[in-house]
Amino acid sequence: MLTSYQFLYQGPALVYVQQTIAARCASHDCVLEVTSLLEGARFRVTGQKDAVRGAIQMASVWIRRAA
């Protein structure tokens, strides 16, 4: 079953966060879609439930570190 999760990021490390999530998705069979906004970006991760959950949990850690 596919699932997806979206979130906005407006922090200073946008490129780092995007690259890190993309690398995670590449190795865990999920897809990252990024929509650029005037300030920041909207991220959408789609894939199997466990892959999406893992990517979002890791993203939370990376975003806190980047801040």
Q: Are 9 and 17 in contact (CB under 8 A)?
A: yes
pLDDT (tens digit per residue) in 31-63: 999 999 999 999 999 999 999 998 888 888 877
Q: How far is CA 56 from CA 20, 32, 34, 38, in A?
A: 11, 11, 14, 23
CATH number where 25 lies: 3.30.1370.10
Query: What is the pLDDT of the chain when averaged over all its residues?
Result: 89
Q: Are 33 and 3 in contact (CB under 8 A)?
A: no
Q: Look at the chain and count its residues.
A: 67
> Which residue segment(s) compose the domain that 24 sits in?
2-66
Q: What is the pTM of this model?
A: 0.84
Q: What domain count does the chain have?
A: 1
